[in-house]
Amino acid sequence: QVHVVESGGGLVQAGGQLRVSCTTSGLRFSSYAMGWFRRAPGKEREFVAAISISGSNTGYGDSVKGRFTISRENAKNTVYLEMNSLKPEDTAVYYCAADYRSTDDYRVQSFDYNHWGRGTQVTVSS
């Protein structure tokens, strides 16, 4: 059985930083591109960041580019999202997802990801 579990969310002031983590079990982590998505109250789910199976290729949503960094440790079955210069509009539930890939690339559409965590709340106060 596959498990995807996010951790590290919380409350932070605007301008601050936070790192969220995602650990998987039940799948071969090194064969999955990993993505972070978020959903703010009353809004659609939004692509945040993704990383290829080797970690060599990464991509970011326009709203977080330059502020967020995605990374992974295949030996620990873990992907991270480092968030800097946080803004109140970054407040959302952040979801981690896994996408099986045979090539070292990533996708940005949520429907391509077939394993999801339950999310972790990130709240940025002004």
Cα–Cα distance list, 95 to 15, 28, 42, 102, 103 (Å): 22, 19, 16, 23, 23
**pLDDT for residue 52:** 98
For 66-119, write each residue's pLDDT tens digit. 999 999 999 999 999 999 999 999 999 999 999 999 999 999 999 999 999 999
67 secondary structure, DSSP code: T
**pLDDT for residue 50:** 98
**pLDDT for residue 68:** 98
Residue 8: pLDDT band (50, 70, 90) is very high
